[in-house]
């Protein structure tokens, strides 16, 4: 296998530091970083969000050879082969190791580049990375994309393959005849075709054991959504009676869900509007369902039904509260930088909590319409973007907490119903960060619209929502549903289909 040499762009590291392990391939490939990329990462390490956390995590795992050699006695580290690296740029090797420093710093005479080998140490992996620092770039002055130009220059001079998930940088590199690639380890083609519904015909005189013996049923994963179509027969023919029942495959068995009975027993503030919403409500209430991914366009009822399921679990004593998380990435912000908004943390977060407040206020309106007592209880103004008196009271009464994702690290969330909204704007690393915070007695539902991407390095073929959907197609631990029906105005529906 021929060795490939990759210059890693900032976007690849921010996507997931596990990309470094994946790319190294147990020594099959060589990895490089330039000073520009280090500078870009350094500027983000102070961000108080998940991006800042991942940058700090990356730097925490970097060691010099001297530090690395004292970290483990069994690992033998070698100095960088500077002649080989410099030869790529047409230069020659510089300083040789000395008795005092066997890991001496190296230079390439052509551009006076400083070359240093560092190590990325993560779990059991000790991965060498060549750091190239150029003190002066001989490029014309430019107001835009200066860093991109520097990165491309290093990749060219050292004959490296530029690896970037920044599409504009990739295109700029390709136009200069530079080998540039993207790392899309979890790209999902045709996500709209992912479907968890399965239909079966079953005679009215047969019991569920006959269905469970069906070969097709046996191949289904747990939490498959089942539509059972009733059959009957005359002496000469078989026909459909028009009756249907619905349920889930759980632990290899078919479990019928009497949807109307579930709704009647739990009495949600707002009745689910269609079959999808009823199935979602029943799925989220099921005691064996600990992890769910639910996708759908705006107006499909994701947040509303998830919140109502959480309220029912709270009322039934299954959880002690509700945690609402939402990725603080917007269509106008390149990154999630809460610090630039006015107010304290709660006021800053309120800008991003519109879906939650919208769902709550929909419930408050229904309660106020139902009785004078509720109008008195939920007194005050209701507003969707900023929390006003009635909305604040609802949050406190129902033990609903809003949490910034960046502040979830280092804590354990136990005995809560966790709603992670806008998961399509989360990387796999962010999902892992939150998932590892879930403690005993908690359950989590991820919500998102995989086609509505605001994150700079993600797309509608590759994002957190799709990663979870793909996982749900084969993993029995996670339940999933794609909501296809939307309840929107004619104007919203028209723009939703706008091409």
CA separation for the pair 152, 157 (Å, rounded) = 9
pLDDT of res. 127: 94
pLDDT of res. 405: 76
pLDDT of res. 455: 78
Cα 241–Cα 256–Cα 215 angle in degrees, nearest 5: 80
pLDDT of res. 100: 40
pLDDT of res. 362: 81
Q: Which residues contact 197 (CB under 8 A, 6 or more apart)?
A: 224, 225, 226, 227
Alpha-helical runs (H) found in 213-274: 215-218, 259-266
Q: Which residues contact 280 (CB under 8 A, 6 or more apart)?
A: 272, 294, 301, 305, 306, 309, 481, 483
pLDDT of res. 377: 67
How crowded is the C-beta side of 147, counted as CA atoms within 13 Å? 15
Whole-angstrom CA distances from 298 to 54, 422, 447, 461, 481 are: 30, 11, 11, 18, 15
DSSP conformational letter for 318 = S
pLDDT of res. 329: 54
- The 10 Å Cβ neighbour count of residue 422 is 25
- Residues of the chain with confidence (pLDDT) below 70: 1-2, 49-50, 66-85, 87-107, 109-110, 143, 328-354, 372-388, 406, 409, 488-489, 492-493, 496-499
Q: What is the DSSP string of 419-482?
A: EEE-GGG--HHHHHHHHTTB-TT-EEEEEE-TT----TT-BTTBSHHHHHHHHHTT-TTEEEEE
Provide the token pair at 341: 């908004």
Place of tokens 């209430």: 285
Would residue 302 be called left, alpha or beta, if left means φ above 0 and alpha means ψ between -120 and 50 degrees? alpha
Whole-angstrom CA distances from 282 to 114, 225, 418 are: 61, 11, 17
Contacts 24+ apart (CB under 8 A), 48-52: 48/338, 48/339, 48/406, 48/407, 49/328, 49/335, 49/336, 49/337, 49/338, 49/404, 49/405, 49/406, 50/327, 50/336, 50/405, 50/406, 50/426, 50/429, 50/430, 50/433, 51/14, 51/335, 51/336, 52/406
Beta strands at 62-63 and 113-122: parallel, antiparallel or unpaired:
antiparallel
pLDDT per residue over 279-334, tens digit each?
999 999 999 999 999 999 888 999 999 999 999 999 999 999 999 987 765 443 34
Would residue 335 be called left, alpha or beta, if left means φ above 0 and alpha means ψ between -120 and 50 degrees? beta
pTM for the whole thing? 0.74
């Amino acid at each position: 296998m021929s060795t490939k040499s990759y210059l890693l762009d900032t976007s690849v590291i921010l996507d997931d530091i596990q990309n470094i392990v994946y790319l190294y391939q147990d020594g099959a490939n060589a990895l490089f970083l330039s000073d520009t990329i280090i500078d870009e990462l350094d500027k983000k390490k102070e961000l108080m969000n998940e991006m800042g956390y991942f940058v700090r995590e990356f730097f925490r795992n970097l060691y010099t050879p001297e530090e690395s050699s004292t970290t483990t006695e069994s690992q033998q580290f070698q100095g960088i082969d500077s002649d080989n690296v410099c030869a790529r740029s047409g230069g020659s090797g510089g300083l040789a190791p000395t008795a005092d420093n066997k890991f001496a710093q190296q230079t390439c005479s052509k551009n006076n580049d400083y070359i240093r080998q560092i190590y990325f140490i993560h779990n059991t992996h000790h991965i060498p990375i060549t750091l190239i620092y150029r003190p002066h770039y001989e490029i014309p002055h430019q107001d835009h994309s200066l860093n991109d130009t520097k990165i491309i220059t290093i990749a060219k001079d050292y004959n490296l393959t530029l690896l970037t998930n920044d599409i504009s940088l990739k295109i700029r590199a390709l136009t200069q005849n530079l080998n540039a690639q993207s790392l899309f380890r979890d790209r999902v083609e045709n996500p709209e075709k992912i479907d968890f519904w399965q239909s079966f015909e079953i005679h009215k005189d047969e019991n569920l054991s006959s269905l469970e013996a069906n070969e097709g049923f046996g191949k289904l994963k747990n939490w498959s959504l089942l539509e059972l179509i009733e059959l009957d027969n005359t002496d000469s023919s078989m026909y459909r009676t028009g009756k249907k029942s619905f349920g889930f495959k759980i632990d290899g068995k078919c479990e019928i869900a009497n949807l109307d009975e579930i709704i009647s027993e739990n009495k949600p503030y707002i009745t689910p509007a269609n079959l999808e919403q009823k199935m979602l409500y029943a799925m989220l209430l099921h005691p064996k369902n600990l992890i769910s991914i639910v996708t759908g366009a705006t107006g499909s009822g994701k947040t509303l039904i998830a919140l109502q399921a959480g309220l029912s679990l709270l009322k039934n004593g299954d959880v002690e509260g509700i945690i609402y998380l939402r990725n603080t990435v917007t269509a106008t912000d390149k990154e999630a930088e809460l610090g630039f908004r006015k107010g304290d943390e709660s006021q800053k977060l309120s800008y991003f909590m519109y879906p939650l407040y919208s769902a709550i206020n929909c419930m408050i309106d229904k309660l106020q319409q139902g009785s004078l007592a509720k109008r008195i209880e939920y007194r005050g103004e209701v507003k969707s973007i900023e929390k006003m008196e009635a909305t604040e009271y609802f949050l406190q009464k129902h033990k609903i907490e809003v949490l910034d994702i960046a502040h979830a690290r280092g804590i354990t969330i136990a005995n809560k119903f966790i709603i992670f909204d806008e998961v399509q704007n989360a990387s796999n690393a962010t999902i892992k960060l939150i998932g590892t915070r879930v403690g005993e007695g908690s359950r989590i539902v991820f919500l998102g619209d995989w086609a509505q991407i605001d994150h700079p390095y993600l797309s509608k073929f590759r994002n957190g929502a799709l990663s979870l959907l793909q996982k749900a197609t084969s993993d029995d631990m996670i339940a999933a549903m794609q909501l296809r029906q939307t309840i929107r105005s004619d104007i919203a529906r028209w723009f939703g289909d706008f091409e």
